[in-house]
Amino acid sequence: MHFNRSLGGMGRSYGMGHLGEGQDDKRPKIALERALLGRVFRYFIPYRKPAILILICIALSSGLGLIAPLLVRALLDHAIPGHNLPLLHKLVLGLVLLPVATGLIGVLQNYWNIRISQGLVADLRNALYTHLQRLSLRFYATTRSGEILSRVNNDTAAVNGVVLGTFLGIFTNIITLLATAGVLFAMDWRLALLACGIVPAFVLPMRRIGRIRHRLSRETQEKQSELQGVTQDVVNVGGFLLMRLFGRASYEAGRFHDGNQAVFSLQLRQAMVGRWMFLFIGIVAAAGPALVYWYGGKRLILGDTAAGLSIGTIIAFVAYLSNLYRPVAQLANIYVDLQGAFAVFLRIFEYLDLKPDVQDRPGAGPLPRIRGQVRFEGVTFAYRPDQRPALDNVSFTIEPGQLAALVGPSGAGKTTATYLVPRFYDPQAGRILIDGHDLREVTQDSLTAQMGMVTQETFLFHATIRENLLYARSGATEEELVAAARAAYIHDFIAGLPDGYDTLVGERGFKLSGGEKQRLSIARAILKDPRILILDEATSSLDSHSEAAIQSALVPLMKGRTAFVIAHRLSTVLAADVILVLDKGRVVEQGTHQKLLDQAGLYAQLYETQFRKHDDRHPHPPGVSL
């Protein structure tokens, strides 16, 4: 079954683009409020012990940072004027040892910083990837792979900078600010009031800048996702071949250039927003020391030495101002960065909040070992509510071990029916039962564990033949692996390769022919040993040798199993225990080949137009799929 063909209607309806072209109105909207803050900080709970160690390190570093100006004041007011060499030596030694102690504490703090930030990145990436595995086929049919990769890689990686540069910076600056303010007021409350009087000029402009940065950060992440999607379209074998065959290299280069330029422009605007405001803030910060020198110097000149005011006190006071204004400026800037940081979390939470279309019901139990009876009871399914149902009130029963051939015109609902059996989708009406068990009452894992599927468009990982086969059953022995390959008539080919089963197959199996890939897919299904098999024969586009080999491989695969086959060959139809004829989403006829011919209905019409004029070696007429 060809993936693009079977999902064509759904793709057109949903946009086949990144999430947002057809589902914007369904995205969860998370406001930047207390609930979001609580959700973000819940990810820090497993790291509360390292976080406490970091806070201790921050407190120690801030405390040590307050000592140096006091040492300088003692040098200027006592050691040098008093000609006290022992005191001078101690104070100078203290000025040397302080950076050493602060540096050692910084190393320890940095270690725990990285442990927390990288741990959060790993946790979010694991949570996001695990959640993506639970989403339904509809999500992957309507979302570009590049967009998904961007969320998993770029957005989660951005959390590292959020933790190191934003959240931890908040605590560092708050502790430094409070400690410095306390020392300043203890030294001279009038100078402290003067120095703190210009602090509001740092804070007031930040709210508007924060809103702009939040919007630009979100737009940048979205444009980067779009750019990765464009790249993903071309940097694979299929996309590259399509681009070269249609001579679209210049177009693709231009498309990438335009997207790259859009990202560059947004990043430039994001980096420059508020720069003029920060220039003003820098001027304000420079005015603080000037005011302290002016006011403190004026008091000394006029003979005011109250509260221990001295030249050393004024110089120490000015030295402390950097510890006052820097945290204020950084806290104001952190508010700006926090807006952008939450934009990253919002994008991650958008995916984490997506609900799978198909979910295990509460209390769903495992499906026991099945015999293989499949029953559709009044099944109706549409990919979208505003579309004609792909299946409309379909009912039939396939007994254990039977081969059911699905035939009908293109778009009749054959592939949709096969997608409902493993619960890629759930019907909107009716139910599907296996051995009397409603599929919605059993777990999805236990259901798919007893199913196998061989599609027209075979997918192989960029790995070895052995790894691709063992994907069906990782615990299979070498003997079982070889037996499955022999049953699929592919072992001799594998054994003739220089690396045998350890041969790399290339991107999507590009190093192999269509027939070889198909037989590997069949071997993989045989190795899984499913009770129910879904098969879309893929022989119509192959050479006669490959077709004969695959037809031979299908015999052991279907033996003793309940099988659904979207039939393309008369030989398959003749071998079927029951033929289901679908048209416009309905089962219009069912029975054996001869019985359906005698009814002189749609099947007889397809037979007359198909097999009277064309044998199995010739291509099918347009619009007819048997």
Long-range contacts of 554-560 (CB under 8 A, 24+ apart): 554/522, 556/487, 556/488, 556/526, 557/454, 557/487, 557/488, 557/522, 557/525, 557/526, 557/533, 558/403, 558/533, 560/401
Closest alpha carbon to 336 in 384, 284, 270, 282:
270
Which tokens go with 285? 């910060």
Task: Tell me how far apart the alpha carbons of residues 129 and 210 are, in angstroms, rounded to a whole number.
Answer: 31
Encode 441-461: b = buried (16+ Cβ within 10 Å), e = exposed.
ebebebbbebbbbbbbbbebe
Per-residue pLDDT tens over the stretch 233-277 = 777 666 766 676 667 778 888 888 888 888 888 888 877 776 766
Contact 322, 199 (CB under 8 A): no
Task: Tell me how far apart the alpha carbons of residues 609 and 596 are, in angstroms, rounded to a whole number.
Answer: 15
**Residue 389: predicted pLDDT:** 93
Name the DSSP letter for residue 151: I
Per-residue pLDDT tens over the stretch 412-422 = 999 999 999 99
Element (H, E) at 392: strand 391-398
- Cα dist from 611 to 9, 122, 574, 621, 624, whole Å: 29, 58, 12, 10, 11
373 SS3 class? coil
**Residue 13: predicted pLDDT:** 33
Residues of the chain with pLDDT under 70: 1-33, 202-208, 210-211, 214, 236-238, 240-242, 244-246, 274, 276-278, 305-308, 333-337, 339-340, 537-550, 610-626
Closest alpha carbon to 520 in 543, 477, 544, 549:
549
Closest alpha carbon to 321 in 505, 196, 442:
196
- Cα dist from 568 to 269, 346, 476, 547, whole Å: 57, 48, 32, 12
Element (H, E) at 578: strand 578-583
- Cα dist from 215 to 34, 196, 202, 415, whole Å: 19, 32, 22, 43
Contact 580, 391 (CB under 8 A): no
Which tokens go with 448? 């798919």
Determine how many CB atoms are found less than 10 A away from the CB of residue 156.
23
Task: Tell me how far apart the alpha carbons of residues 86 and 93 are, in angstroms, rounded to a whole number.
Answer: 11
**Cα dihedral sign for 68, 69, 71, 72?**
positive
Contacts for 149 with CB less than 8 Å, ≥ 6 apart? 228, 232
**Cα dihedral sign for 606, 612, 614, 616?**
positive
Single-letter amino acid code for the residue at 467: E
Contact 370, 446 (CB under 8 A): no
Which residue, chain included where needed, has tokens 């422009």? 265
Contact 159, 44 (CB under 8 A): no
**Residue 210: predicted pLDDT:** 63
Task: Tell me how far apart the alpha carbons of residues 607 and 596 are, in angstroms, rounded to a whole number.
Answer: 10
pTM value? 0.70
Contact 582, 413 (CB under 8 A): yes
Q: Residue 183's Cα: distance from chain center in Å?
A: 48
Determine how many CB atoms are found less than 10 A away from the CB of residue 309.
18
Contact 337, 166 (CB under 8 A): yes
Task: Tell me how far apart the alpha carbons of residues 327 and 183 are, in angstroms, rounded to a whole number.
Answer: 15
Task: Tell me how far apart the alpha carbons of residues 527 and 516 are, in angstroms, rounded to a whole number.
Answer: 16
**Cα dihedral sign for 379, 384, 385, 390?**
negative
Contact 559, 372 (CB under 8 A): no
End-to-end CA distance of the chain: give it in Å, rounded.
12
Q: Kindly provide the residue ranges of all beta strands, DSSP E only, lying in 507-550, ordered along the sequence.
A: 532-536
Q: Residue 339's Cα: distance from chain center in Å?
A: 22
Q: Residue 416's Cα: distance from chain center in Å?
A: 27
378 SS3 class? strand
574 SS3 class? helix
Beta strands 562-566; 403-409: pairing state: parallel
In which order are the strands placed within the sheet that holds 429-434?
391-398, 374-381, 429-434, 437-438
Task: Tell me how far apart the alpha carbons of residues 292 and 299 are, in angstroms, rounded to a whole number.
Answer: 10
Please give the domain boundaries of the chain with CATH numbers for all domains.
24-352 (1.20.1560.10), 363-450+532-542+560-626 (3.40.50.300), 458-529 (3.40.50.300)
